[in-house]
């Protein structure tokens, strides 16, 4: 996979050279380039923003530096691209979107700043995406979050193909509790089923715990996920148990 980020703060992305993403780059599983679109300004002051027509507070990112930077990216890396604009008004990023992005050969992220974008920039993009209902100072941190979440679904990045599928939201539910050694720590013991060696009992326990946690903490997710007959049965059991307490 090839990822290009357009940002006026390229040094912020040095953190992507660490941990699993850094190792993925070393293995050539992903290539990440950051293009400073300030380098493409045509004014003497190297400004990438200007006041909006019609008046109003704040400054807008101008179309010209972004367009010229995108022309440069296309010259360097021809081919079909998924171009993502970080925009508070965009669709909320989630696991399904990350999985979808991971199927692409080329991703381009455009990081915004100031009050917003010249509307004409949106003609360049395929997706307008937000990471939640709050405002940050720029699009760099959301972009890094999306890159991290996306690369977890690129084969070889995690080193264990099962890992990404077992985590919260991978099947629309929150992840079940997990434990490691020792089995007894300060009197807090690991549930016996997990040390039983009975894989079917462990699977059922984990599924029930996942459903229970989702019901307690994110019941809204249960309205969007398609549950199997088994999951529906266990969920009814859990709700019945809760009603008795």
Give 129-153 pLDDT, tens digit per residue. Answer: 999 998 888 999 999 999 999 999 9
Numbered residues of the known binding site:
112, 131-136
pLDDT at residue 167, as a whole number: 52
Q: How confident is the model at residue 243 (pLDDT cuts 50, 70, 90)?
A: confident
Numbered residues of the known binding site for S-adenosyl-L-methionine:
112, 131-136
7/13 Cα distance (integer angstroms):
9
Q: How confident is the model at residue 83 (pLDDT cuts 50, 70, 90)?
A: very high
- Does the 168-244 domain belong in CATH 1.10.1270.20? yes
Question: 240, 217 in Cβ contact below 8 A?
Answer: no
pTM over 0.75: yes
pLDDT at residue 114, as a whole number: 66
How many percent of the chain have pLDDT more than 90? 78
Please indicate whether the domains covering 2-151 and 168-244 agree at the CATH topology level.
Answer: no
Buried b (16+ CB within 10 A) or exposed e, 81-113: bbbbbbbbebeebebebbbebbebebbbbbbbb
81/97 Cα distance (integer angstroms):
15
Q: 3.40.50.10440, 3.30.2080.10, 3.40.1280.10, 3.90.170.10: which CATH number matches 2-151? A: 3.40.1280.10
Buried b (16+ CB within 10 A) or exposed e, 139-175: bbebbbebbbbbbbbbeebbeeeeebeeebbbbbbbb
What are the domain boundaries of the chain?
2-151, 168-244
């Amino acid at each position: 996979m090839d990822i290009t980020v357009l940002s006026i703060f390229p040094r912020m992305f040095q953190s992507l050279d660490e941990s699993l993403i850094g190792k993925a780059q070393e293995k050539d599983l992903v290539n990440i380039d950051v293009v400073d679109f300030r380098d493409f300004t045509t004014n003497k002051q190297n400004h990438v923003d200007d006041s909006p027509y019609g008046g109003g507070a704040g400054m807008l990112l101008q179309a010209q530096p972004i367009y010229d930077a995108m022309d440069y990216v296309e010259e360097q890396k021809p081919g079909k691209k998924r171009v993502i604009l970080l925009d508070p008004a965009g669709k909320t990023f989630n696991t399904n979107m990350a999985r979808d992005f991971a199927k692409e050969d080329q991703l381009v992220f455009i990081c915004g700043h100031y009050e917003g974008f010249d509307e004409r920039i949106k003609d360049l993009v395929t997706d307008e995406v937000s990471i939640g209902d709050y405002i940050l100072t720029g699009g760099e941190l959301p972009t890094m979050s999306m890159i991290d979440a996306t690369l977890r679904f690129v084969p070889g990045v995690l080193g264990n193909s099962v890992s990404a599928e077992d985590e919260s939201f991978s099947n629309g539910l929150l992840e079940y509790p997990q434990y490691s050694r020792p089995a007894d720590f300060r009197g807090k013991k690991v549930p016996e089923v997990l040390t039983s060696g009975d894989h079917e009992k462990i699977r059922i326990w984990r599924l029930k715990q996942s459903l229970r946690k989702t019901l307690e903490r994110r019941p809204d997710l249960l309205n969007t996920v398609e549950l199997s007959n088994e999951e529906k049965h266990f969920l009814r059991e859990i709700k019945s148990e809760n009603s008795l307490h």
